[in-house]
A = this chain, B = another copy of it.
Amino acid sequence: MSVEFDFNFVPGLPVGKWSGFPKYNFVGGHNDAEHVPVDALIAAATSVLKREGFSLATYGLNSGPLGYRPLRDFLVGKLKSHAGIACEADEILITSGSLQGLDLVNSLLLSPGDTVLVEQDCYGGSLSRLSRRGAKVVGIPLDSGGLRIDVVANALADLSRRGIRPKYLYTIPTVQNPTGTIMGEERRVELLRLSRAYGVPIFEDECYSDLIWDGQRPPALYAISNGVGVIHIGSFSKSISPALRVGYIVASWDVLSRILALKIDAGSGALEQMVLAEFCSAHFTEHVLKLNRVLRGKLETLIAALAEQFGTAAEFEDPKGGIFLWLKLPDGVDTQKLAQVALAEGLAINPGPEWSTDKVHATTRLRLCSANPSKEVIRQGVARLAQICHREFGVPTRIANIKRG
């Protein structure tokens, strides 16, 4: 197979071969392997296939292009009780993960050169998608209460003066990625007021919102706006399984009917939708409660390991939910270099600049995910990271109260 053949590719770089997960894996939205509800998923698969397996013979089962109806029915109830969203099953489109939701909404709204507003520290997959589409990205800083609405107001006023109307403002208001913040209700109301004043829709991504320790959260932006001017996406990746690739878009029919016209994949995977619907109707609430205790325990292990190994050299807030920490290391640390060196030693982190619109601000920052590694691996990995960081950048200088050698 070594003969050359000129395929005349559209420009782009190839990827390397996959060689397995790194030993200390602090990246990716992976979940805890021991707490995948395997037995209940087997029971769900068995019962739903016995009842409706014949319907696998048709594209879209018997539910049409929006996705398996019982899953959309479950979501109607969950979105109401969890996020305050009043919607109908026909205002929900099941997608192949929330990533397909990102792609579809971007296809609906963005042309090259369009401007969008995003949280300054932001999910890397959203930023890379905007970059691929040639969008101009304006980052808005966050504080411990989430997106800074005062800066949103200034940015919108400034853009408006320059004749620019952003295509949307993208936000992860509830357990923000990577900061873990939850935007309060007052800010949400004010954000929607600005959205209407400037005619800039809100693109609300709630893919982490099920993972909140005390379960308390403000209503979704979609709920407060009653669905007007907001597109909402979510996912089962974090609450059940990332490998399943099931997410959803909530939007009014005038929007969803246009998104549906762009979803030319002949439907998302039916078996996963069927099994999820069957499982979630019976077990979702109980499963998420249990999972959150596990995830909180792992995050506490991460926090304790960081306190021991980095001391005051690692600054972060203790988030109210989620599976990651957003750390600041001392000035002088370059987390992109740190990530590169660490990966060569079997330890993976997300360097800040890949997760932020402000590369300078993010140079000393990084994201660590704690859901997948065991507590022992978390402890070992953080110790390893501190060693590497000390070797490369001279910090942290102490382990607990002992000077690092």
Chain A residues within 8 Å of B, Cβ to Cβ: 1, 3, 5-10, 12-18, 20-21, 28-36, 38, 41-42, 45-46, 49-50, 53-62, 64-66, 90, 96-97, 99-100, 103, 107-111, 125, 128-129, 165, 167, 196, 199, 201, 226-229, 241-246, 252-255, 257-258, 260-262, 264-272, 275, 372
* A262 with B49, Cβ < 8 A, contacts A5-B201, A90-B17 known: no
Check A58 against B46 for contact (C-beta < 8 Å). no
Check A227 against B1 for contact (C-beta < 8 Å). yes
**Interchain CB contact (< 8 A) of A58 among B33, B201, B258, B272:** B33
Nearest B residue to A66, CB-CB: B18
Nearest B residue to A63, CB-CB: B18
Please provide the 7 A-B residue pairs with the shortest distance between their CB atoms, ordered closest to farther.
Answer: A18-B64, A38-B53, A269-B269, A14-B257, A243-B270, A5-B229, A33-B57
Q: Which of A56, A111, A241, A267 is packed against the most chain B CB atoms within 10 Å?
A: A56
A4 to chain B, nearest CB (A): 8
Check A255 against B7 for contact (C-beta < 8 Å). yes
Check A265 against B96 for contact (C-beta < 8 Å). yes
Check B55 against A49 for contact (C-beta < 8 Å). no
| Chain B residues whose C-beta falls within 8 Å of the C-beta of A61 in the assembled complex | 243
Check A41 against B57 for contact (C-beta < 8 Å). no
User: Could you list 7 further interchain pairs (A-B, Cβ under 8 angstroms) beyond the known A1-B228, A21-B58?
Assistant: A9-B108, A12-B108, A45-B45, A45-B46, A55-B243, A99-B266, A244-B270
The CA of A38 and the CA of B253, in the complex, are separated in Å by: 35
The CA of A246 and the CA of B54, in the complex, are separated in Å by: 17
Check B242 against A58 for contact (C-beta < 8 Å). yes
Copies of this chain assembled into the complex: 2
* A264 with B99, Cβ < 8 A, contacts A46-B42, A107-B10, A269-B244 known: yes
Check B269 against A7 for contact (C-beta < 8 Å). no
Check B242 against A59 for contact (C-beta < 8 Å). yes
**Interchain CB contact (< 8 A) of A243 among B56, B242, B275:** B56
| Chain B residues whose C-beta falls within 8 Å of the C-beta of A261 in the assembled complex | 12-15
Check B10 against A108 for contact (C-beta < 8 Å). yes
Check B30 against A57 for contact (C-beta < 8 Å). yes
| Chain B residues whose C-beta falls within 8 Å of the C-beta of A90 in the assembled complex | 17
Check B38 against A45 for contact (C-beta < 8 Å). no
The CA of A171 and the CA of B245, in the complex, are separated in Å by: 31
Nearest B residue to A91, CB-CB: B1
Check A49 against B41 for contact (C-beta < 8 Å). yes
A72 to chain B, nearest CB (A): 12
| Chain B residues whose C-beta falls within 8 Å of the C-beta of A243 in the assembled complex | 55-61, 267, 269-271
Check A30 against B49 for contact (C-beta < 8 Å). no
Check B258 against A271 for contact (C-beta < 8 Å). no
Check B6 against A199 for contact (C-beta < 8 Å). yes
